[in-house]
Amino acid sequence: MIKLRLDPRLLMFVVGTRAALAFGAGLLLAERIPQPRRRAMGLALVAIGAATTIPAAMGVFGSREPEGR
């Protein structure tokens, strides 16, 4: 079995990337904000969330260790 150990900074980074991606997607689907503004903010947040997903995944999968340790 593999144990996963995340320090609080890495955990908050992963949560932040997921939150930015989800909030951006929510803005793209919302109707309350004017369309040009909503689209710009939504696409920016989705892009930030997507771009930071790779470093977050590398941090998570790099912190796995075999059970015997």
**Position 25 in a domain:** yes
**Does residue 67 belong to any structural domain of this protein?**
no
| 14-63: pLDDT as tens digits | 999 999 999 999 988 988 888 888 899 999 999 999 999 888 888 888 76
- Domain with 25 in it: 7-61
In a domain? residue 51: yes
Domain total in the chain: 1
32 assigned to some structural domain: yes
Does residue 19 lie in a domain region? Answer: yes
pLDDT band of 69, cuts 50, 70, 90: low
Q: Which residues contact 10 (CB under 8 A, 6 or more apart)?
A: 56, 59, 60, 63
Gap between the Cα atoms of 47 and 38, Å rounded: 14
Binning pLDDT at 50, 70 and 90, where does residue 3 land? confident
